[in-house]
Amino acid sequence: MAAVSVPYAKALFSVAQQADRMEEFKNELWLVCHMIRIDNRFGHFLNHPEIPQDIKKDAVKQGLSQKISREMLNFIFFVIDKKRQDSLQEIFREYSNLYRKYKEQRYAKIYTVVPLTEEQKLDIKEKLDYLYEADVIIENILEPEIIGGMVIRTGFQVIDGSIKSALDRIKASIM
């Protein structure tokens, strides 16, 4: 599915860049995807093979024309015409990746047992910004299995400072 979504995301990003509306388009595409995620009926309706494209486009226009730009509405219509509406979530992911690269941002998931305070998040963000020479976007995910400490994942890199990992290393050295 990713192979299909990449050209759509690149085309949308190119239009957004030319119009200097990259963040606006990202937010609007997020809104469309969010509506599909929270309303299963809407998602099923859009993906139903027996419902004609013009009916789907009318429904999208009625439901979203006041919330998204004409350009985004046309993009959604184009996706529906090409019968790729089931790829909208993946198109959004690819678009977000292009946006982060353009903005020199990096995404980091931080796994902890207890939620990080805002001060801790800011401290970690500053260190990761310096380490990766990029603006790092942080998401804190609660993961009780790590026992304590934290695990940071950015792309394919992992910084594992968890107690579970330390215990596993001790266990391996004893056996």
The predicted-structure confidence for 82-119, as pLDDT tens digits, reads as follows 999 999 999 999 999 899 888 888 889 999 999 999 99
Share of the chain above pLDDT 90, in %: 74
Per the model's pLDDT, the better-predicted residue between 71 and 1 turns out to be 71
What is the pLDDT averaged over residues 17-39?
93
The reported pLDDT for the residue numbered 22 is 93
- Parse the chain into domains and list their residue ranges: 2-100, 104-174
What is the pLDDT averaged over residues 51-72?
93
| Coil, helix or strand at residue 167 | helix
What is the pLDDT averaged over residues 3-7?
88
Instruction: Assign 3-state DSSP to the chain and report helix, strand, coil percentages, each to 5.
Output: 65, 15, 20
Nearest CA among 159, 166, 162 for reference residue 145: 162
| pTM exceeds 0.85 | no
Give the H or E element holding residue 108: strand 105-112
| Coil, helix or strand at residue 86 | helix
Query: What does the pLDDT look like over 36-53, one tens digit per residue?
Result: 989 889 989 999 999 999
Which amino acid does the sequence have at 68? I
Query: What does the pLDDT look like over 139-151, one tens digit per residue?
Result: 999 999 999 999 9
The reported pLDDT for the residue numbered 9 is 95
Residue 169 CB-density burial (10 A; 0-12 exposed, 13-18 middle, 19+ buried): exposed
The two domains 2-100 and 104-174 share their CATH topology (first three levels equal): no
Q: CATH number of 2-100: 1.10.520.20, 2.60.40.770, 3.30.360.10, 3.40.50.300?
A: 1.10.520.20
| Coil, helix or strand at residue 50 | coil
For residue 10, is pLDDT > 80? yes
Q: CATH number of 104-174: 2.30.30, 1.10.10, 3.30.465, 3.40.30?
A: 3.40.30
Residue 140 to residue 109: CA distance in whole angstroms? 6
Residue 161 to residue 112: CA distance in whole angstroms? 10
Per the model's pLDDT, the better-predicted residue between 173 and 72 turns out to be 72
What is the pLDDT averaged over residues 155-174?
89
What is the pLDDT averaged over residues 51-64?
93
Going by pLDDT thresholds of 50, 70 and 90, the confidence category of residue 2 is: low
Nearest CA among 1, 2, 5 for reference residue 79: 5
The reported pLDDT for the residue numbered 72 is 96
DSSP string over 112-128 = ESSPPPHHHHHHHHHHH
Give the H or E element holding residue 79: helix 70-81
